[in-house]
């Protein structure tokens, strides 16, 4: 963990000219509503609309000259692909993003607009990941996982460094978990610099791959249902480095329903005028669910992104 913390600390200094320092904003109305002091880490204001730009930027800066020249390959239907496209453009590295056929057209359009090259793949996200990893091996290019990569995790951890600088007295931090890259980075920082801060992992009840794996002590395949939190959906890669980190660093785990996610998204639109994606709604919903436990305490909620199709967002907040 010390080695990872050192990598995060270095990234925190080096990436600052490129990566936006996002606000940690106190929310008066959410605080009044919950009985806690609620602080919102506004990663939805990061370049490309999510925290993923941190990890992508850190990974690309550490490539060799030959790797840069060859270009990189990844698989994504959304935030990671957008982040890789922009980071690649800024670094002068060609980024090819493999995406499943059913990926939202607007998301692919944005990846192209940011400079990424799209390869469409028949099937689901898992098919796209498999095709991308095979292509990377065949073409001699680096395959970049959205979470199963220490250099990507180190980039995501810079979010935690900022939070400690912005509010060093946090009692708890709520983070949505998919593959575990963001929470692994943030928790590594907090355990080093603010050990009293509890790290709370948050999942949609419909998509619990990492949650179930942690509960059972080993990475498992989990049948997931559709969720508004598509940013955290999907399985965990075998031997993912994030699994052991999550085992060591997460203090508490919480599940939230689709209705709780929708209600949280609607509430923050009312209280703070923020439009957030489902994964960010998961973290806020979890904080609201556990609010009685943290009454009067300083609680941070990581709003990890805002990239949601407008019609889907409007439908979600209209249903609660």
pLDDT tens string 296-310: 999 999 999 999 999
How much is the average pLDDT of 80-97? 97
Whether the Cβ atoms of residue 185 and residue 155 lie closer than 8 Å to each other: yes
Task: Supply angle C-alpha 242, 104, 134, rounded to 5.
Answer: 50
Query: What pLDDT, on a 0 to 100 scale, did the predictor assign at position 249?
Result: 98
pLDDT tens string 104-130: 788 899 999 999 999 999 987 778 888
Domains 2-50+149-318 and 53-143 share a fold: yes
Question: How far apart, in whole angstroms, are the C-alpha atoms of residue 69 and residue 72?
Answer: 9
Q: Which two tokens stand for residue 302?
A: 């990581």
Query: What pLDDT, on a 0 to 100 scale, did the predictor assign at position 272?
Result: 98
Asked if the model's pLDDT at residue 30 lies above 70, the reply is yes
Question: How far apart, in whole angstroms, are the C-alpha atoms of residue 258 and residue 134?
Answer: 35
Bigger pLDDT: 234 or 226? 226
CATH number of 2-50+149-318: 3.40.50.1100
Whether the Cβ atoms of residue 180 and residue 147 lie closer than 8 Å to each other: yes
Whether the Cβ atoms of residue 86 and residue 115 lie closer than 8 Å to each other: yes
CATH number of 53-143: 3.40.50.1100
pLDDT tens string 183-196: 999 999 999 999 99
Spans of all domains in the chain: 2-50+149-318, 53-143
Query: What pLDDT, on a 0 to 100 scale, did the predictor assign at position 5?
Result: 98
pLDDT tens string 48-74: 999 999 999 999 999 999 999 999 999
- The alpha helices in 148-304, defined as continuous H runs, are 150-166, 181-193, 209-216, 241-249, 258-271, 278-289
Confidence of residue 173 (pLDDT cuts 50, 70, 90): very high
**Environment class of 239 (CB within 10 Å of its CB; exposed 0-12, middle 13-18, buried 19+):** exposed
Q: Are strands 24-26 and 37-41 parallel, antiparallel or unpaired?
A: antiparallel
Confidence of residue 101 (pLDDT cuts 50, 70, 90): confident
User: Residue for token digits 């994030």?
Assistant: 242
pTM, rounded to two decimals? 0.96
Question: How far apart, in whole angstroms, are the C-alpha atoms of residue 28 and residue 171?
Answer: 17
Query: What pLDDT, on a 0 to 100 scale, did the predictor assign at position 248?
Result: 98
Question: How far apart, in whole angstroms, are the C-alpha atoms of residue 50 and residue 73?
Answer: 20
Please provide the average confidence, as pLDDT, over all residues in the chain: 95
Helix (H, G, I), strand (E, B) or coil at 257: coil
Asked if the model's pLDDT at residue 315 lies above 90, the reply is yes
Q: Which two tokens stand for residue 310?
A: 């407008």
Query: What pLDDT, on a 0 to 100 scale, did the predictor assign at position 78?
Result: 86
Question: How far apart, in whole angstroms, are the C-alpha atoms of residue 149 and residue 65?
Answer: 19
Question: How far apart, in whole angstroms, are the C-alpha atoms of residue 155 and residue 195?
Answer: 21
Alpha-carbon separation of residue 65 from 69, 74, 92, 128, 146 (angstroms): 6, 19, 11, 27, 22
Asked if the model's pLDDT at residue 1 lies above 80, the reply is no
Asked if the model's pLDDT at residue 319 lies above 90, the reply is no
- Give the lowest-confidence range in 98-102, 215-219, 313-317: 98-102
Q: φ, ψ for residue 313 (rounded to 5)?
A: -65, -50
Query: What pLDDT, on a 0 to 100 scale, did the predictor assign at position 102?
Result: 78
Query: What pLDDT, on a 0 to 100 scale, did the predictor assign at position 141?
Result: 97
């Amino acid at each position: 963990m010390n080695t990872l913390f050192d990598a995060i600390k270095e990234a925190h200094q080096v990436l600052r000219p490129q990566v936006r320092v996002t606000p940690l904003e106190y929310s008066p109305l959410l605080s009044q509503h919950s009985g806690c002091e609620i602080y919102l880490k506004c990663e939805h204001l990061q370049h490309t609309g999510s925290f993923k730009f941190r990890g992508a930027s850190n990974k690309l800066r550490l490539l060799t000259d030959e790797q840069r020249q060859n270009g990189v390959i990844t698989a994504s239907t959304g935030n990671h692909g957008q982040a890789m496209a922009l980071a690649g453009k800024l670094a002068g590295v060609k980024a090819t993003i493999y995406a499943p056929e059913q990926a939202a057209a607007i998301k692919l359009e944005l990846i192209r607009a940011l400079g990424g090259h799209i390869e469409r793949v028949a099937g689901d996200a898992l098919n796209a990941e498999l095709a991308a990893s095979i292509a990377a091996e065949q073409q001699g290019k680096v395959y970049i996982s959205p979470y199963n990569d220490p250099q990507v995790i180190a980039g995501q951890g810079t979010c935690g460094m900022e939070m400690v600088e912005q509010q060093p007295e946090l009692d708890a931090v709520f983070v949505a978990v998919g593959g575990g890259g963001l929470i692994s980075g943030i928790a590594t920082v907090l355990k080093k610099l603010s050990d009293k801060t509890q790290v709370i992992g948050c999942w949609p009840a419909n998509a619990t791959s990492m949650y179930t794996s942690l509960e059972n002590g080993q990475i498992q395949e989990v049948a997931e249902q559709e969720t508004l939190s598509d940013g955290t959906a999907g399985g965990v890669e075998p031997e993912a480095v994030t699994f052991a980190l999550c085992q060591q660093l997460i203090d508490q785990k919480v599940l939230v329903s689709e209705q709780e996610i929708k209600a949280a998204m609607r509430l923050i639109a009312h209280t703070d005028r923020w439009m957030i994606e489902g994964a960010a709604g998961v973290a806020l919903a979890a904080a609201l669910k556990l609010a009685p436990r943290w009454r009067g305490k300083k609680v941070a909620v990581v709003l990890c992104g805002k990239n949601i199709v407008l019609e889907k967002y409007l439908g979600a907040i209209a249903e609660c």
